[in-house]
């Protein structure tokens, strides 16, 4: 089970342990797994936040949401539109091929929310959209390969349209 031949290189470790290189590789694997799990947990928490704490009050026309949108002059149409965008973003955060696009779109929505908080509401709650942008941008960057995958799927679908049947 162990290498015992004189031909074994200096510093060789027993078969199966892998030596220091395997330990470093194993540590990197554990870190990558931890990072993936943490990122996924953040995505789920953000999706829950956007679906229930942010979109739901708008979609059910909660009095505080309706009052805020009336104050902006956007009315119920604006409220339902923003609520629907937030809900769509929450769902898309959980769909692997849409995660990066959803995080980018929700980031843009949060920049708009920040500007609205500063201009229309005297900066009250302006920190909330900024705080949410940070994990959203991390998700967008970490899942950017999924965007490439999505573009490939879109190109594939586009390439099949309009071609005559063989």
Query: Which tokens is 125 given?
Result: 């709650």
33-49, pLDDT tens digit by residue? 999 999 999 999 999 99
**Spatial distance between the Cα atoms of 80 and 75, rounded to a whole number of angstroms:** 9
Matching residue, tokens 């490439």: 148
CA angle 13, 18, 23 (to 5 degrees): 115
State the chain's mean pLDDT as an integer: 87
Mean pLDDT, rounded, for 61-71? 96
Beta-carbon contacts of 72 under 8 Å, excluding residues fewer than 6 positions away, are 78, 116, 120
> In angstroms, rounded to a whole number, what is the distance separating the alpha carbons of residues 10 and 26?
23
**Structure confidence by residue, pLDDT tens digits, 95-147:** 999 999 999 999 999 999 999 999 999 998 999 999 999 999 999 999 999 88
Quick check: 165 pLDDT over 60?
A: no
Q: What are the two backbone dihedrals, phi and then psi, of residue 132, each rounded to the nearest 5 degrees?
A: -70, -30
Q: Residue 5 above 50 pLDDT? A: no
> Rounded to whole angstroms, what are the CA distances from 151 to 66, 88, 98, 100?
37, 19, 10, 12
How much is the pTM?
0.78
C-alpha Rg value of the chain to the nearest Å: 25
């Amino acid at each position: 089970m162990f290498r015992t031949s004189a031909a074994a290189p200096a510093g060789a470790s027993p078969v199966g342990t892998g030596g220091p290189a395997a330990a470093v590789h194993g540590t990197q694997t554990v870190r990558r797994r931890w990072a993936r799990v943490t990122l996924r947990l953040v995505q789920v928490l953000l999706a829950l936040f956007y679906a229930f704490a942010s979109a739901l009050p708008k979609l059910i026309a909660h009095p505080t949401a309706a009052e805020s949108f009336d104050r902006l002059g956007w009315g119920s149409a604006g409220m339902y539109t923003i609520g629907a965008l937030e809900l769509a973003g929450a769902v898309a955060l959980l769909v692997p091929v849409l995660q990066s696009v959803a995080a980018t779109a929700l980031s843009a929505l949060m920049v708009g929310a920040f500007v609205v908080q500063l201009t229309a509401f005297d900066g009250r709650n302006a920190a909330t959209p900024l705080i949410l942008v940070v994990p959203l941008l991390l998700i967008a960057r970490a899942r950017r390969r999924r965007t490439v995958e999505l573009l490939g799927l879109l190109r594939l679908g586009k390439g099949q349209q309009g071609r005559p049947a063989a």
